Structures are given as C-alpha cells and as structure tokens.
Amino acid sequence: MLRSKFLGTDFCGLNNFVPLGPNYLLLCNYAGRYICTGQIREFGVITRIRNNLWQVGGRGLTDPADAAVYLVRFGDKAALIDAGTGRDRPQLRKNIAECLEPNVQLEYLLLTHCHFDHTGGAQAVRDEYGCKIVAHELDAVYLESGDNRVTGAVLYGARLEPFAIDIKLRGQETTLAIGNGIVTAIHCPGHSPGSVVYTTDIDGELVLLGQDIHGPIHSEFLSDEKQYLASLARLVDLNADLLLEGHFGIFETKQEVREFIEYWGSSRGNSLYGFLYVSPSEPPGRGGY
C-alpha cells in the first residue's frame, strides 16, 4: 500500500505514483490509465489557496484521519467547510487563528455530508466559536441521532455523539449571506443522501467546495449510484474555476476540474474503488468517506 500524506488519502493496491512537474502527481490504476491528483501543498503548512481562502485541516495539518477542512473569509465573517474527526482540536484552532484576525467572526460551519471524517469535530467547533452548523436535512437526521453506521464513525473506532444542526438545508439549492459574500449550497446526493457542495465567487473565480466528489458508493452509507452520476453531471455544468476536494487536493483550472469530475463518472473511475477503498467491514484509515 502506498500512502499520499499530502492528499489525505491512502491508495491500496496501487504501485505507481508518477511525478508531473513540481506540483502534481499522476496516479496509475490497474488498466494503465493515469489520472491527475490535485496540487500537492507543502506538508504541515497551512495552505493559502486564494485571498481569504485557506486549507486549515486534513492529513498533514491536523489528524491523519481528517478529511480536508477549508476556511473562507468574507469581510468580518468567515465560514469553515467541514470539521474533520475532532481528534486534533488544538491544532485546528491554532490553524484557524493564524488565518483570521481577532475581529473576524467564524459564523458558519458548512458540512458537506454526514461522514465522521468530516463531522466528528463539528460540536467542538461550535463550542469554540459559537457558529451555526449547516447541513442538508437528509444527512442531518444521522448526525442528530448519532448513527455510527451511516456516518461511518464505526470505521474509525469512534462513536459520534449526537449533535443538533442549526440550519437544515432543504431542496436543491440554498443561498447563504456571509459577511460581504454569498455562498450557494447545492444538493448533490449519491455519496450520501444529503451530500452538498458549496460554491462562492472569489476575485471573479467560481470556487467549488465539493468534498467527496470521488465517492465512494456503498450501501452502508445509503449511497445511490444513479443519484451520484446525476450529481456529477450537475457539477460539470457549473464550469467551476477551482475545486477543493476532501481527499484528492486542489484543482486550479476549469479543464482540470472538469476532467476530475468526469473521471469519477466514468467506468474507469468506478473501477478505482476496489483499490482506493476497503470494505466498510474492515478497519478504517485507508481511504476517505
């Protein structure tokens, strides 16, 4: 098994990482098809992606089991996208403090879906900052009930303590005003019933915060392949300039964003699941959910 400490993902059964210039790796699957991962960021260093946009959590920044955690600022308000497992709260708090001035309020925690590597730290974030937790109603039920199977907490040897969702998203699209900015939540079911992506405009670029675009699809997580493929098509149509993914890094051109999304909707992309993810009945930590 090879492990990418930069991307927050372990690759099981893969033997080939191919460098492509200073910033990228190519991942080779069994069929000889190469796909490009996101940009590699310096290990252990907070990533300033754009003005007022950072990666503050994830493997190499907080606990190794954490999915990526992103922070976006709009004037005197800010939002955190996902919260990791909660196992490294002091470091996440320190990373956020390095990015935000004391007069900036962390107003929202925007959850992309219910899985533990994205939500285990949600209650701690709310306790620390007094922010409102946002999630789609179709995933909120599993967070509020502490469902350890659907949230995948059991895979991490953890128990998800139930917590309340302050704002439950309903329907296909919701707009949130945050400081002097706007964030749009788009329901993209498939990976989980209530999976959501968030979009916003930063300096004229459409930023797509789409954490687990790569899936996987599994009955334990109440996944729906038909919905997943339809959601991928919807994401392609957004024509985003920048994609911030939960386990595969950051993609910085329209072409790279489109190619990454389309790949996971293809038969070749689906074939990678056998390499990237172990069965949910096996121990956690090898792949992200």
* CATH code at position 182: 3.60.15.10
285 in a structural domain = no
Which structural domain range is residue 196 located in? 2-276
Which uninterrupted H or E stretch holds 89?
helix 89-99
Residue 288 lies in a domain: no
Answer whether residue 202 is part of any domain. yes
Q: What is the average per-residue pLDDT within 252-260?
A: 94
The reply to whether 53 falls in a domain is yes
User: Does 161 map to a domain?
Assistant: yes
pLDDT tens, position by position, 85-103:
999 999 999 999 999 999 9
pLDDT of residue 44: 66
Residue 282 lies in a domain: no
pLDDT category of residue 45 using cuts at 50, 70 and 90: confident
Provide the whole-model pTM: 0.83
| Model confidence at 135: pLDDT above 80 | yes
**Sign, Cα dihedral of 64, 25, 98, 207:** negative
CA-CA distance, 17 to 147, in Å (whole number)?
36
Q: What values do phi and psi take at 225, rounded to 5?
A: -65, -40
Do residues 222 and 195 lie in contact, with contact meaning Cβ atoms separated by under 8 Å? no
Q: What is the pLDDT of residues 149-188, one digit of tens each?
A: 999 999 999 999 999 999 999 999 999 999 999 999 999 9
Could you give the number of structural domains in the chain? 1
Q: Which residues are CB-neighbours of 101 under 8 A, at least 6 positions away?
A: none
Residue 233 lies in a domain: yes
- 284 found inside a domain: no
At position 135, the amino acid (one-letter code) is A
